[in-house]
């Protein structure tokens, strides 16, 4: 099988040698098997200002289709743009139409290569004053070092899983416009030696064969032509090494997520502890404040009680002082009353005589009953004056008159 492919490839080379030089740049090998779909990948960063992007494509060799990685290329001269090559159906076979450099982008089969090559023309940038301006919406460049940039939204700016040929079964139906026909007849510059060497290196890399990578090559794009290893290499989306890297990244992300969760849990625990401590401190402060308030209130109440007690004692002392003179005056008033009540005794030399009937003596007026000593009056009241003692009865009324001698 490999021998038959080699023989067929040698025959194709013989036919190509027989083609005039003017047609060689336009048509390469032809094959009856359609090329695979375009490879999906991320564009690597532009290594140097002035480099232009050339999209990846499927080449054909003795062992079948192989992937030529997209790469940044230094153009052969200032002011030219790259028109990508494409596979086109015609005369019962798929023929490869070579790409070229020119002042204007020509027809490339309506194939959507992405990154500015959406099927018609180029929207990734333009030349101005011998400097290339990059559209950062479709080109990955360092804006800190690339000052000649702009941003314009482009639809279908990135390469995806899409058809890679024009015409035939399942191919694009695009046809060149009048302007593109004119460009096709202009003088062009073929691929640079760096580009040719890049293609040749890809054809010799076993991993880039479609039969090996099944449309997902491990080297889908590079920063510079021929550099198939290093930081500038980008794998196809879903490629084996990309999956391995993705798994590694997933493990790292998982570890980072776990660490973040642990840190978050520790922070939450510390926050909860601080909150509890703050709450306990606040409660203790509130209790201390309440206790201080109660102590102050009790102190004020005790002080007020002491003041009231002192006032009451003072009032009692005042009443006692006022009542004592009244009590002292009461016995003085009582003593003359008791003395006046006793009758005078009869003289001893007087002999008793027979009593003549005399009119009854009027009984002496009874002395009024002595009042008990008045109670001390209320505070600030004057003590009651004692009642006047009754006058003593005349002696002739109580003593018998002496009898006259004859």
pLDDT above 90 covers what percent of the chain?
48
Least confident among 10-19, 30-39, 122-131, 261-270:
10-19
Is pLDDT larger for residue 277 or for residue 68? 68
Residue range 320-328: mean pLDDT, rounded: 60
The whole-number pLDDT of residue 83 equals: 98
Residue pair 94/168 in contact (Cβ under 8 Å)? The answer is yes
Q: What CA–CA distance (Å, rounded) separates 388 from 171?
A: 154
Is pLDDT larger for residue 402 or for residue 313? 313
Q: Is pLDDT of 221 > 60?
A: yes
Residue pair 135/154 in contact (Cβ under 8 Å)? The answer is yes
Q: What CA–CA distance (Å, rounded) separates 386 from 334?
A: 8
The whole-number pLDDT of residue 222 equals: 98
pLDDT band at 263 (very low <50, low <70, confident <90, very high): low
Q: Is pLDDT of 115 > 80?
A: yes
Residue range 93-101: mean pLDDT, rounded: 96
Q: Is pLDDT of 170 > 60?
A: yes
pTM: predicted TM-score of the whole model, two decimal places: 0.55
The whole-number pLDDT of residue 345 equals: 53
Least confident among 13-17, 289-293, 327-331, 391-395:
13-17
Residue range 366-374: mean pLDDT, rounded: 47
Express each pLDDT in 294-308 by its tens digit.
766 767 766 776 777
The count of residues in the chain is: 406
Residue range 78-106: mean pLDDT, rounded: 96
Residue range 80-97: mean pLDDT, rounded: 96
Residue range 311-339: mean pLDDT, rounded: 60
């Amino acid at each position: 099988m490999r021998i038959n492919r080699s023989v067929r490839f040698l025959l194709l080379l013989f036919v190509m040698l027989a083609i005039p030089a003017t047609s060689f740049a336009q048509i390469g090998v032809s094959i009856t098997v359609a090329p695979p779909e375009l490879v999906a990948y991320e564009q690597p960063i532009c290594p140097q200002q002035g480099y232009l992007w050339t999209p990846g494509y499927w080449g054909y060799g003795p062992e079948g289709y192989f992937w030529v990685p997209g790469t940044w290329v230094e153009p052969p001269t200032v002011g030219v743009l790259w028109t990508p090559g494409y596979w086109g159906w015609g005369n019962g076979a798929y023929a490869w139409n070579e790409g070229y450099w020119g002042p204007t982008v020509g027809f490339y089969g309506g194939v959507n290569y992405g990154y500015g090559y959406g099927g018609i023309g180029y929207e990734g940038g333009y030349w101005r004053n011998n400097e290339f301006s990059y559209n950062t919406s479709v080109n990955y460049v360092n804006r800190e070092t690339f000052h000649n940039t702009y941003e314009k939204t482009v639809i279908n700016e990135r390469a995806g899983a899409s058809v890679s040929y024009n015409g035939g079964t399942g191919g694009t139906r695009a046809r060149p416009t009048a302007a593109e026909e004119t460009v096709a007849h202009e003088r062009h510059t073929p691929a640079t030696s760096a580009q040719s060497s890049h293609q040749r290196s890809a054809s010799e890399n076993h991993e880039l064969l479609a039969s090996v990578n099944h449309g997902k090559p491990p080297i889908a794009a590079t920063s510079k032509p021929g550099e198939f290893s290093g930081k500038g290499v980008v794998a196809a989306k879903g490629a084996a090494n990309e999956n391995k890297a993705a798994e590694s990244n997933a493990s790292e992300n998982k570890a980072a997520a776990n660490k973040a969760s642990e840190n978050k849990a520790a922070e939450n625990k510390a926050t909860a502890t601080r909150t509890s401590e703050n709450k306990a401190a606040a409660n203790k402060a509130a209790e201390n404040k309440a206790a201080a308030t109660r102590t102050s209130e009790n102190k004020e109440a005790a002080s007020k009680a002491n003041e009231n007690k002192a006032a009451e004692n003072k009032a009692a002392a005042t009443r006692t002082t006022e009542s004592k003179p009244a009590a002292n005056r009461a016995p003085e008033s009582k003593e003359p009353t008791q003395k006046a009540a006793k009758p005078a005794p009869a003289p001893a030399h007087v002999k008793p005589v027979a009593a003549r009937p005399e009119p009854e003596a009027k009984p002496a007026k009874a002395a009024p009953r002595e009042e008990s000593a008045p109670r001390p009056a209320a505070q600030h009241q004057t003590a009651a004056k004692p009642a006047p003692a009754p006058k003593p009865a005349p002696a002739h009324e109580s003593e018998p008159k002496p009898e006259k001698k004859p």
